[in-house]
Every structure is written in structure tokens, then in C-alpha cells.
Amino acid sequence: MKEELEAAKLIEREFREIGLENVHRERFTAVTRNYKDCQLKILEPSVETVPCVNGGTSVSTPLQGIRADLIDAGFGTIKDYERLKKRGVDTKGKIALIERSDRLTSWPDIPCRLAKDYGVEAVIFTTFFSEHRAFRKDAFPFAPIPVISVPYKVAQSLRAKMRKQNVKVELRNIIETNENGFSYNVIGELVGSKYPEETITLTTHHDTWFGGANDNASAVAIILEVAKILSENFKPKRTIKFISFGAEESGSNNFFEWSVGSFEYVKKHPEEMKNTIANINLDIPAFGDTVVLRATPEMTTFAKETVKGLDLETIFKVTKMTTTST
């Protein structure tokens, strides 16, 4: 996308002005999306158009949209659909209004997939966190059916109507997908004085679904400032590589549609991976007054030692992570 390329060029220019070495951009193929139209019109009991936002990586509706009865599917769980079944509600061919809840359903592609299993044609998401505005596009990763979002006030109005009578709506979610789009990773480095072949990487991403000040311009700003400070007063023994990835939020049509830029970088530089001794990645670092560090045991020990002299309240917790192995 044009805006992402502009961001990549800006970071590249900053890397050069800072004085990093081997500064360059690497282009790779990525799926890009152009959000053309999002409309939600109430057809019955009275005609009314309400505000909505496209679902980020959901599929498009036909150009004429989808017309169907609206059902309240609660949080979009199996229990919610069983409740509808007991009430004699046929979910097949309907459009479902679903309240987003990460606690109950984890990432929201799960209720979207479940909705499809129950024959639902499209999903309208809402969340009580967003009373006056629809939820952002990235709330709906790789949904297998059309998905849009509406403000909570609109959802409450729709629910009130459904409690009294049948509600029919027309939903349009038009997204142009380009399978042969491009994105860019931006790289710069401080070459090590003693072990230049060994690399420590500081990484982030510059693409975003929405305004992006927190996710993830704040992290890009930190990476640039760290690069500036180190380039002025520090000569590392090992090479420090600064990388800003593109297509982190979205970039493929596979089930795992994100982190495409970092995947492409690793795929392109397999030999480099053998000599990368540590990676520090920054993502959404400006969230409130709390900093969350997820790390391997080695990095956790380093973090504990680092914060000892700081006047900070710290909590360390061991979390089991699922892995795949053969």
C-alpha cells in the first residue's frame, strides 16, 4: 500500500541520517487489501442506514450485498447457538450480531468460523468498549465469511428492535484483494568490532490497521532513538541490526495471515539465523503505564538484572507455551 511504502522510505531515510551501515529496503510479495465500501441498512421494520466498518481480512459480500434476517448470537459461542436452537431459531442463512469477548472466545476469528459452521451468512461485531464508534479493522483476522463492525449504541438499538419484532438487514462489505501486492522490510546495522558475524537484532513493524500511534509508531520511534544513541556513543563487539518489518498486521490469505514481513526475512536469510544470538522485538510499547516483557528464560534473567536499579514495581510470572514437535 502507498502509505506503508511511505513509512518504509521514512524509516530508511532516518537510518541513513543516523549513520547506520548497510541501510536498505527489501521488497517481498504480500496480499494487500483496499477497503471500498461498508454499508449496513435496516430494511425491516423500518428503513434506516447505520454506521459500520469493514472487517479487516474478512471476505467480501457480493456487490449487491447480503439481505437476511438478523439474529442476536450473544458472544458467538456454542452455548449461544444451542440457546437459539432451543428457542426454535434457525441460524442458517442469517446475519448474526455478536458481542466481542476475548475472554470467552479468544481472537474473534473463532466466533466467525463457528458462525459459518452454524450456517450464518455474515457477522456484525460490536463491543462495549466502543460506544460511539465501530471497532477497528484488525479485530477480525481472516474471517471465512463477511464481517463488519458497528458501534455499541447501534448494536443496542438493533437488539431492542429484535426483542419486539423481526429485523431484516442488508449488509455490504466490499474489499478488493491483490494477491500480488508488495511490502518492504527496512534494515540498518551497527557492524560489530570483534564478532561482526554474530548479530543481535532489534525489531519492530511499521504497518498498521488504523491510526497506529500505539501500534506501532511508538515502537518505531523507540527503535530509531536507540539506533541514534548507540551510533553516537557506542561501538558494539557484535553487530546490532535494526529491522522494521512490513506486513506484520496482515499480508497473506492463509490461516496465519500476519507477521508476513518477519517470515519473509527469515526465509530470505537462513544463514543469518544461525548467528543471531538474541532478538528484542517491540510491539505496542506505549500501552498505559505498564510494560509487558515476554521472553525466554535467558532474557528474563537479563531483564531482572536490568530493572533492579529502577524504581519500578515488577511482577515476574512463568507461563507455559504450547509447542509443536515431531
Domain residue limits at 262: 2-32+179-288
**Could you read off the pLDDT of 58-67 as tens digits, one per residue?**
889 999 999 9
How many structural domains is the chain composed of? Answer: 2
The CA-based angle 284-126-93, given to 5 degrees, is 130
Q: Across residues 141-169, what is the average pLDDT?
A: 91
Separation CA 173–CA 304 (nearest Å): 48
Q: What percent of the chain has pLDDT over 70?
A: 91
The stretches of the chain forming alpha helices (DSSP H) are 2-18, 78-86, 102-105, 109-117, 152-164, 218-233, 260-268, 270-274, 297-307
Residues 21 and 80 occupy one common structural domain: no
* Domain finish residue from 134, 166, 198: 166
Residues 162 and 183 occupy one common structural domain: no
**Could you read off the pLDDT of 205-224 as tens digits, one per residue?**
999 876 688 889 999 999 99
Indicate the pTM of the whole model.
0.84
Residues 65 and 112 occupy one common structural domain: yes
